[in-house]
Structure 1
Amino acid sequence: MLAVFEQSIGKPPPELSIPQAGKQKKEAKTREDIAESFKSWKQDSTFYHLSNGNFMAFSHDNENPTQPRSIVVMDDIFCIFSGRLDNTFDLRKHYGLSRQATEAMIMVEAYKVLRDRAPYPPDQVIKELEGKFAFILFDSKASTLFIARDRDGSVPLHWGTATDGSLVCSDDSEFIQTSCGKFYTPFPPGCIFISDTGLISFDHPMHKVKAIAREDDDGNVNGVIFQVDLYTKLHSIPRRGSASNWAGATTVE
């Protein structure tokens, strides 16, 4: 799976743009080049072109049978889901969905409840998910990007930046290396990224998720990882509900 969004939507952490020594010397590509590369790389891919050159892409190529990928577009919400949920029966019942509802459909419904009606923060929604998963969801009406990965990091998910600073996300480590050059790292397990909230831990929502730069003996950064800082607390838990501004952005045509 692949998602590429401009900075005004993705708002990637600035640490993603720190060049990392020891990674590919090749520079990051443009969004247009990344799209063309994915089409050549995954010839069975399906593209969803959004406004301003943003896009999401989906492929079954080299799919792990224990971590299948699915995609759904519902009510102008796009969701690519990789992995499996062990409690789909309970989640379908909770959200009033049919027995045919896929994991991607469940995530869209969970997001809609969170956006429109739920008075609780997003970490509570993700905590309800049992299984191995990673997903990328985009609400085109609210211009909101929502990304999450299970706490064990069981399903691959990486993020980085294109030449213009756009956020690039993919479950293919080789492809994201080719696309982002030195500007990429694994998406942190047990975390959520939301456009207007940033990166938070769903197990430790009151603590800040910090970028840790690893340096070699010469002082060159050879890796950037994100992890929970249990010594730094946030002022409040980010909340989302009917009073929030989730739907305050411009509609994507």
Structure 2
Amino acid sequence: MLAVFEKSVGNPPEGLSLPLKGRQQPSESKSGEEVVDIFQSWRADTTLYKVPNGSSMALSHEDECPLHPRSIVVVDDVFCIFVGMLENTCELRRHYGLSRQATESMVVVEAYKVLRDRAPYPPDQVVRGLKGKFAFVLFDAKSSTLFLARDRDGSVPFHWAMASDGSLICSDDPKIIAEACGKCYTPFPPGCIFMNRSGLISFDHPLNKVRAIAREDEEGNICAVIFQVDLYTRLPQHSAHR
């Protein structure tokens, strides 16, 4: 799977740009549009969705792991790519009033819509209710809201990066994202959610800062970052999801 969001929409966290700064040689990173072209050229069965503001979401079942199936759904201008499986799908269907045919991606869309429209609780509580091995990318085209999440064990491969034009890149395929961004990518942190309007938080520790830690290559250049929860630093009260 691949998701590419134009800079103003994706609003990538500042830490993702560290490998692009101060490099003595040109970055290997491609533009967002070039990344989409690479994915399509490598995956003959690609289903591509052009979403508003120059962004794209794409799905392929090539080399799909049976334990981590991929699915995509579009409901009321909400696009969702889901990778993995939920252990409590039946319970969640009943909770959200969905039919027995509702897939994991449909469940995630409904959970988001309830959060958006009616729920008095924060997004970390919504994701904590998802039991299983998963990662997902959700985009609400009406409000330009981006919502990413990965389970706390990091069971499903899920990477993100910043393209040369500032676009946010997300994929479960390390080969695609390495070709697109060179060394300028990193795993999406397990147990975390990202929303383009509020940033990156841990759903187990929503009041603590998730910090970007730079990694350097043999020449001392920053080649990537790792995001980790800082249990000693609390978020300002006004920005906490409470």
TM-score (norm 2): 0.93
Structure 1 position 96 matched with structure 2 position 111:
no
Contact 1:26 1:178 in 2 (8 A): no
Which residue of structure 2 aligns with residue 19 of structure 1? 19
For these two proteins, the number of residue pairs brought into alignment is: 237
- After TM superposition, the structure 1 = structure 2 runs for residues 163-242 of structure 1, keeping only pairs within 5 Å, are 163-215=164-216, 219-236=220-237, 237-238=240-241
- After TM superposition, the structure 1 = structure 2 runs for residues 152-171 of structure 1, keeping only pairs within 5 Å, are 152-171=153-172
Seq. identity, % = 66
1:93 Cα deviation after fit = 0.4
Contact 1:152 1:190 in 2 (8 A): yes
Structure 2 stretches lacking a partner, 5+ long: 21-25
1:27 Cα deviation after fit = 1.4
Amino acid at match of 1:173: P
Contact 1:67 1:82 in 2 (8 A): yes
Separation (CA, whole Å) in 2 of partners of 1:59 and 1:199: 27
Separation (CA, whole Å) in 2 of partners of 1:112 and 1:230: 31
Amino acid at match of 1:13: P
Separation (CA, whole Å) in 2 of partners of 1:31 and 1:224: 20
Which residue of structure 1 aligns with residue 52 of structure 2? 51
Separation (CA, whole Å) in 1 of partners of 2:61 and 2:218: 42
Which residue of structure 2 aligns with residue 6 of structure 1? 6
Contact 1:137 1:146 in 2 (8 A): yes
Amino acid at match of 1:225: I
Greater Cα shift, 9-18 or 102-111 = 9-18
| Partner secondary structure for residue 91 of structure 2 | helix
Which residue of structure 2 aligns with residue 65 of structure 1? 66
Greater Cα shift, 139-148 or 32-41 = 32-41
1:227 Cα deviation after fit = 0.5
Which residue of structure 2 aligns with residue 81 of structure 1? 82
Contact 1:31 1:53 in 2 (8 A): no
1:66 Cα deviation after fit = 0.8
Greater Cα shift, 225-234 or 215-224 = 215-224
Contact 2:31 2:163 in 1 (8 A): yes
1:33 Cα deviation after fit = 1.2
Amino acid at match of 1:72: V
Which residue of structure 1 aligns with residue 23 of structure 2? none
Amino acid at match of 1:19: P
Q: 1:37 to 1:223 in 2, by over 3 A?
A: closer
Separation (CA, whole Å) in 2 of partners of 1:225 and 1:146: 19
TM-score (norm 1): 0.89
Contact 2:184 2:223 in 1 (8 A): no
Separation (CA, whole Å) in 2 of partners of 1:215 and 1:163: 19
Separation (CA, whole Å) in 2 of partners of 1:165 and 1:85: 33
Separation (CA, whole Å) in 1 of partners of 2:156 and 2:52: 29
| Partner secondary structure for residue 91 of structure 1 | helix
1:158 Cα deviation after fit = 0.3
Separation (CA, whole Å) in 2 of partners of 1:155 and 1:219: 30
Structure 1 stretches lacking a partner, 5+ long: 240-253
Separation (CA, whole Å) in 2 of partners of 1:128 and 1:164: 36
Separation (CA, whole Å) in 2 of partners of 1:46 and 1:216: 36
Separation (CA, whole Å) in 2 of partners of 1:3 and 1:64: 19
Greater Cα shift, 97-106 or 175-184 = 175-184
